[in-house]
Amino acid sequence: MRLDLLKTLNEERKARRAAILVTDMASGEQRLVKGADIAADPLADLLDQALRAGKSRSAEHDGKQLFLTVQAPPVRIFCIGAVHISQALAPMAKLTGFDLTVIDPRTAFATPERFPDAPVLADWPQNVLPGLGLDQYTGVCLLTHDPKIDDPALIAALKAECFYIGALGSRKTHAKRVERMMAEGFGEDALKRIHAPIGLDIGSVSPAEIAVSVLGEIIAALRKKPLRVEKAA
């Protein structure tokens, strides 16, 4: 690999930005495509598929055999609320390979004993999230039902354009949440990115079942390219 490509690749990795190294298998020619430039690239569809899968792969384009070396930042999930759903979700996320952290200022709930599978930050979201670097490879789950705790995290997640934002609560609760976020200056397009009620609609009842539905929704948001009908909806 050329030194200039390696330098740029390392810079993108350090900044938690995706990039794909495209190698022509016949000629050995290489070029680096940054995540922000994929949409305008001639290989946009192939690069998008590889990045969503998060794995390097071989590909063919215009009769050329290519190898796509994918560099994607590790996915992080922040659960706002040390609740039963978070307790069930933490080991599931670990098995899936996601880094999950629980944030809750209520020290009676936010304890290492209750969360042996995940780091716990017993503090207010507005105090800790600014130092955690939310980005497009971060998912945020709002699980406390308490606007004083959830809303600061929601504001931070919307500003950072996190790839997944899910919020617990009924449609009525979410309508009030939307009103509060509009008062904070967020528009309709941004608020449509909130998954509420949180989780896939699989009829889940128990905290563990809800955790399954949430994890499934997170994976779908990360890996699955929306269909046209889904975009329209």
Pairing of strands 64-71, 57-61: antiparallel
Give dist(CA 46, CA 59) in Å, integer. Answer: 8
Structural domains of the chain, ranges and CATH numbers in brackets: 3-71 (no CATH), 76-223 (3.40.50.720)
The answer to pTM > 0.85 is yes
**Which tokens in the block code for residue 229?**
């009908």
Q: What is the pLDDT of residues 99-125, one digit of tens each?
A: 999 999 999 999 999 999 999 999 999
What backbone torsions phi and psi does residue 124 show, to the nearest 5 degrees? Answer: -75, 140
Task: State the first-to-last Cα distance of the chain, in angstroms, to the nearest integer.
Answer: 44
Instruction: pLDDT band for 164, please (50, 70, 90 cuts).
Output: very high
Q: What is the pLDDT of residues 140-157, one digit of tens each?
A: 999 999 999 999 999 999
